[in-house]
Amino acid sequence: MLIVTYVQYELSYDRHFPNHENIYRVVIEGSFNGRDFTGSQSPAPTGATFRDQIPGVEERLRLRNTGNWIVKYNDKVFNENRFVFADETFFEVFRVPLLKGVPGEVLTKKNHLAMSATTASKYFGDEDPIGKTVRLDNDSDWVVAGVYEDIPSNSHFRFNVILSFITRESDYNNQQWLNQNYDTYLVMQPNANVEQVQKQMNEIAIEKMGAEFKQYLDMTFEQFEAAGNRFHYFLQPIADIHLLSDGYGGFEPESDITYVYIFSAIAVFILVIACINFMNLSTARSANRAKEVGVRKVLGSVKGQLVTQFISESVLITFISGLIGLGLAVLLLPFFNNFAGREMSLDFVANLPLVFAGSVVVGFLAGLYPAFFLSAFSPVKVLKGNLSMGMKSGGLRKALVTFQFFISILLIIGTFSILNQLQYIQNKKLGFEKEKVLLVHNTYLLGDGVEAYKNELLANANVEAVSSTWYLPTSSNRSSTVFFPDGIIDQDRGQVSQNWYVDHNYQKVFGLELVKGRFFDRDIPTDSTAMVINEKAAEIYGIKDLENAVIGDFNDDGSALDRYKVIGIVKDFHFESLKTEIGPLVMRLNGQNGYLGVRLNAGNFQQVISDARSAWDQMATDQPFEYSFLDDRFGNMYETESRLGDIFTSFAVLAVLIACLGLFGLAAFTAQQKTKEVGIRKVLGATLPQLMYLMSKEVTVLILISFVVASAVGWYGVDLWMQSFAYRPPISVSVFLLAGACALVIALLTMSYQSIKVATGNPVRALRNE
């Protein structure tokens, strides 16, 4: 029930929006000079142009993510996250219910905004928020024009505050088609041909981009394509964004449809293992019910009646189990939500029909073979006592036990492989030093006091260096630009690179390793027109020495290239997830005030935080002080994988436990059947190890068979999963051997109690009836 709830929740993303089946996100994919790119962002004019020129497009919406803002209302100050600029069509496209405000007018005026109900309550309590003014980032006043229902957690965005796009129209409404900065959504007419719309979108984009290709790349679009480059817009249904985005980017962390398949398979496996247990134990205990079957047949029962009886018992047992399982699932769901980072719900009454239907199906399938097996007994043989004991007709049982342990070993292999990859991520050399770096957030709030704040921190003996920037080696702001080697526009050599602005101390604070040249120097004025690049950038721009190394970038109006001398090359470092290969990076001098990185020594971290807070409170009065550590931010990049690893491990343990319960019951029956045999062997001089071997050899062989098959399937599955990581360790044979050993040890320990109990029993008691 828990897994089904999780899978249903993952599949439900964005389906709650009315008309969701007609809403699409514009996505671009392409290649430039051999480097592939994909993304969910598009140029500012795409939405309106497509709407006006393509008949099948009904409406458009642009969104621009703006991260966190400082919000002040009277004496309340918060660092609020999930801000977005949106066109006036937001509530028309997504139809998020407005609790207060006039539909169609909320985002039509400058400096107007809408808040979620929870956010509005935080600032205004029981007051009516409409018409109230809040101050954002200490530099602009905004009027609350609307309050909307909290956006459900199973959405690919969950904005707390929506700002009117028209406020920044002059800044954001750039008409260039080569600037990809906006998430654009199109509403299709119900009968629209999506493939035809996509074709028209690309025809329009090619036409619009023609002049810009000539201006910026000195080529026509035909020449762009002839050089092996390409780009293509396509429409992605919003219901596909959460699970099928493949790294396109978005407002909230995305998942992967692969995990839905994996967890669905685990749910089926757990149920299959339970069914196998029931079938094995029912047939193994056949002798206990043989006389009942014989008597019933003598008294006139036909086979059909007996089959119905046994299947009914199976369905009843399953239904009672289902009710207990549903009750436990409802009780455990809050813990599971916290564990999985989700906000799922599970209603007991609403799921009763599912439990009933599932009980009928599962109970019927699990009880089918035992029913026919038991009902087939001959009454003459049964009542004469000539019935073969259940374990002697165990061919199918052996196959089921083998399949059971195949599943268990496969899940153990998967668990160890996921944990191994996560361990690899945590321990891999990243090319920068993530430990002992304190990050102070939103230092732009200090205004001109940033340098004074830096000096205050540097006066602390526990601080080695400080650096101001918006760009961190872990998830933070990102910016990309086309650069040209030698400062010459050349269609064959231009490449898109990350474009970061840093200050003189960036290398020291984040522990970057210089390969050639030097980093920026405060005492060298010409460094303002210099660049430091990574090894990947040096490779793609063909820079082997620094004597005449120059890279060009368009000036602000795009009329010419500014030439920058390359003064240093740093060793490649992982500034994106290990799922992505390291790309080219260019750093320029400009200490932007977003984060303040503070390199600490081995001293008292808490004292530094306390001092940093005190200095902040003096210099940024009434502004919230926020901080984090770089290694924590690095861990957050893999939070999804870590949570999924935990969930996978938990359910794998559950599946193995259920398999062991069945094996324990089977072992008890086997021990009972072999009691007299063991007694005779003990009388004839058999030792305890020999008897233990007798009791466990059959299961050991079955586990070895399971291990061989599971290893082959597991190797393929693990290799397929790990391909999603650009950096991964080789598949380790030790993982498979460890999984097999675990399964064998668990099985033997499960059987050992019953085996030892029989093997150490008094043979006189075992043989007293002979």
pLDDT band at 769 (very low <50, low <70, confident <90, very high): low
Span 217-236, pLDDT tens digits: 677 778 777 777 788 889 99
352-356, 593-597, 756-760 — which is least confidently predicted? Answer: 756-760
pLDDT at 280: 75
Mean pLDDT of 161-166: 93
pLDDT at 121: 93
Q: Taking a C-beta distance cutoff of 8 angstroms, is the pair 725, 638 a contact?
A: no
Mean pLDDT of 535-558: 84
169 vs 734, residue with greater confidence: 734
Classified as helix, coil or strand, 768 is coil
pLDDT of 362 higher than 60: yes
Query: Considering the chain, what is the average pLDDT of its residues?
Result: 84
pLDDT at 530: 92
pLDDT band at 286 (very low <50, low <70, confident <90, very high): low
Residue type, 268: V
| Percent of the chain topping pLDDT 90 | 26
pLDDT of 658 higher than 50: yes
pLDDT at 326: 93
Mean pLDDT of 85-95: 93
**Can you tell me the distance from the alpha carbon of 733 to that of 770, in angstroms, rounded to the nearest whole number?**
52
Span 237-246, pLDDT tens digits: 999 999 988 7
pLDDT of 180 higher than 90: no
Q: Taking a C-beta distance cutoff of 8 angstroms, is the pair 598, 437 a contact?
A: yes
Most confident of 15-24, 130-139, 426-435, 474-483: 15-24
pLDDT at 13: 94
pLDDT at 767: 63
Q: CB under 8 Å, gap of 24 or more: what pairs does 690-695 form?
A: 691/755, 691/758, 691/759, 692/752, 692/755, 692/756, 692/759, 695/667, 695/670, 695/671, 695/751, 695/754, 695/755, 695/758, 695/759
Handedness of CA 144, 147, 148, 149 (dihedral sign): positive
Q: How many CB atoms lie within 10 A of CB 334?
A: 11
Q: Which residues, at least 6 apart from 125, have a Cβ–Cβ distance to it below 8 Å?
A: none
Span 296-350, pLDDT tens digits: 777 777 777 878 888 888 899 999 999 999 999 999 999 988 888 888 998 899 8
pTM: 0.81
pLDDT band at 403 (very low <50, low <70, confident <90, very high): confident
pLDDT of 534 higher than 90: yes
Cross-strand partners of 186? 24, 60
Torsion of CA 415, 417, 419, 425, to 10 degrees: -160
Classified as helix, coil or strand, 469 is strand
pLDDT at 380: 63
pLDDT at 571: 93
Q: Taking a C-beta distance cutoff of 8 angstroms, is the pair 77, 623 a contact?
A: yes
Mean pLDDT of 95-106: 90
pLDDT at 208: 84
pLDDT of 768 higher than 70: no
pLDDT of 391 higher than 50: no
646 vs 194, residue with greater confidence: 194
Mean pLDDT of 595-623: 85
Mean pLDDT of 41-61: 91
pLDDT at 585: 92
pLDDT at 479: 79
pLDDT of 379 higher than 60: yes
Residue type, 201: M
pLDDT band at 556 (very low <50, low <70, confident <90, very high): low
pLDDT band at 93 (very low <50, low <70, confident <90, very high): very high
Mean pLDDT of 66-75: 85
pLDDT at 762: 67
- Domain locations in the chain as residue ranges: 20-240, 257-424+639-766, 437-636
Phi, psi of 276 (to 5 degrees): -60, -45
DSSP code per residue over 17-66: STTGGGEEEEEEEEEETTEEEEESEE-TTHHHHHHHH-TTEEEEEEEEEE
**Can you tell me the distance from the alpha carbon of 749 to that of 755, in angstroms, rounded to the nearest whole number?**
10
pLDDT band at 186 (very low <50, low <70, confident <90, very high): very high
Mean pLDDT of 629-647: 79
> What is the CB-side half-sphere exposure of residue 313 using CA atoms within 13 A?
13
pLDDT band at 639 (very low <50, low <70, confident <90, very high): confident
pLDDT band at 390 (very low <50, low <70, confident <90, very high): very low
pLDDT at 387: 52
Closest C-alpha among 198, 188, 187, 182 to residue 251: 182
pLDDT of 282 higher than 70: yes
Q: Taking a C-beta distance cutoff of 8 angstroms, is the pair 57, 186 a contact?
A: yes
Total length of the chain: 770
**Can you tell me the distance from the alpha carbon of 354 to that of 754, in angstroms, rounded to the nearest whole number?**
38
pLDDT at 17: 94
pLDDT at 156: 92
pLDDT of 422 higher than 70: yes
660 vs 132, residue with greater confidence: 132
pLDDT of 181 higher than 60: yes
Mean pLDDT of 11-39: 88
